[in-house]
Amino acid sequence: MAEQSPYVPPKVWTPAASGGAFANINRPVAGATHEKALPVGKHPLQLYSLGTPNGVKVTIMLEELLALGHAGAEYDAWLIRINEGDQFSSGFVEINPNSKIPALVDRSGQEPLRVFESGSILLYLAEKFGAFLPTDIRARTETLNWLFWQMGSAPFVGGGFGHFYAYAPEKLEYPINRYTMETKRQLDVLDRQLANHRFVAGDDYTIADMAIWPWYGGMVRGEAYDAAEFLAAHEYTHVVRWAEEIAARPAVIRGRKVNRVRGKPEEQVAERHQASDLD
């Protein structure tokens, strides 16, 4: 068999068929591909999402707020099937021009307010309800440090390691090694922090934990890319301890079910419009 020639980038890049799990929705431009309005339910908070790690952040936050007794956090969660291109509808692009889940509309005021990017949604809800974000400047800043750490790190874990390890049409050693190295470094960063703290930002459970747990907690628990053994995740003992504690929280158990269409049938609730939908 003839040896394949190395890839030489052209002077000007043009789109080409890439293959892989998401080839049918990848494109180099933004904007809507079709006209379709988004549904609106009975609650002020309307969430449009999917049960991916980024989507789970927000449903956990909402369920945690409800568990604290914040009745205003009642919400409708509508399923956005990203493999089918729902995120490119005109209605979705109107609330998130970046066409990524999750996206939230708060209709409790005089005018609807859109909130997109999972970290922004967590911060918005924390400030709206005065929960899971400390008011002390030092503790607040530490929480936001870790929230933005996750937002900045996730592309390496999801778009990098997850893509090349689990979704790319062929296994390539260089990118897998490159992103495995970075993923393990991030796990080590988190493990060192959790060696001296019960939760990521200190003694209190915050939006930082809600942002980080669906990605890194799922990874060490063997739920992300089926890669726990490959990453030797058991070595990050403090991350494992933290991940198991959060996984046992009732609101986390409930939040993980919302907009989920994979896994065990009893853990899948495609849409959520009232609390009893999760029972």
Q: Is the pLDDT of residue 22 over 80?
A: no
What pTM was estimated for this model as a whole?
0.95
* 274 in the same domain as 224: no
Instruction: Decide: helix, strand or coil at residue 240.
Output: helix
The two structure tokens encoding residue 190: 């988190």
Residue span of the structural domain in which 165 resides = 137-247
Where does the pLDDT of residue 7 fall: very low under 50, low under 70, confident under 90, or very high at 90 and above? Answer: confident
Higher local confidence (pLDDT), 21 or 115: 115
Residue 37 within any structural domain of the chain: no
* 225 in the same domain as 188: yes
Q: Is the pLDDT of residue 91 over 90?
A: yes
Residue 24 within any structural domain of the chain: no
Where does the pLDDT of residue 26 fall: very low under 50, low under 70, confident under 90, or very high at 90 and above? Answer: confident
Q: Is the pLDDT of residue 24 over 80?
A: no
* 268 in the same domain as 174: no
174-218 confidence digits (pLDDT tens): 999 999 999 999 999 999 999 999 999 999 999 999 999 999 999
Run of H or E residues at 211? helix 207-212
What is the CATH classification number for the domain harbouring 196? 1.20.1050.10
Residue 223 within any structural domain of the chain: yes
Q: DSSP letters along 88-153, please?
A: GBHHHHHH-TT--S-EEEE-SSSS-EEEESHHHHHHHHHHHHT-SS-SSHHHHHHHHHHHHHHHHH
Domains identified in the chain, total number: 2
pLDDT at 3: 67
226-273 confidence digits (pLDDT tens): 999 999 999 999 999 999 999 999 999 999 999 999 888 989 999 999
Residue 29 within any structural domain of the chain: no
From CA 147, how far away is CA 240, in angstroms rounded? 19
* 218 in the same domain as 118: no
Q: Judge contact between 169 and 26, C-beta under 8 A.
A: no
* 122 in the same domain as 54: yes
141-164 confidence digits (pLDDT tens): 999 999 999 999 989 999 999 999
* 228 in the same domain as 154: yes
Distances (CA, A) of 220 to 146, 188, 200: 18, 12, 15
Residue 36 within any structural domain of the chain: no
Residue 265 within any structural domain of the chain: yes
Higher local confidence (pLDDT), 173 or 21: 173
* 267 in the same domain as 201: no
Residue keyed to tokens 């990118």? 175
30-65 confidence digits (pLDDT tens): 999 999 999 999 999 999 999 999 999 999 999 999
* 143 in the same domain as 128: no
* 237 in the same domain as 152: yes
* 99 in the same domain as 127: yes
From CA 57, how far away is CA 143, in angstroms rounded? 15
Range scoring the smallest mean pLDDT among 5-19, 86-100, 256-270: 5-19
* 118 in the same domain as 70: yes
What is the CATH classification number for the domain harbouring 50? 3.40.30.10
Mean pLDDT rounded to a whole number for the chain: 95
* 128 in the same domain as 264: yes
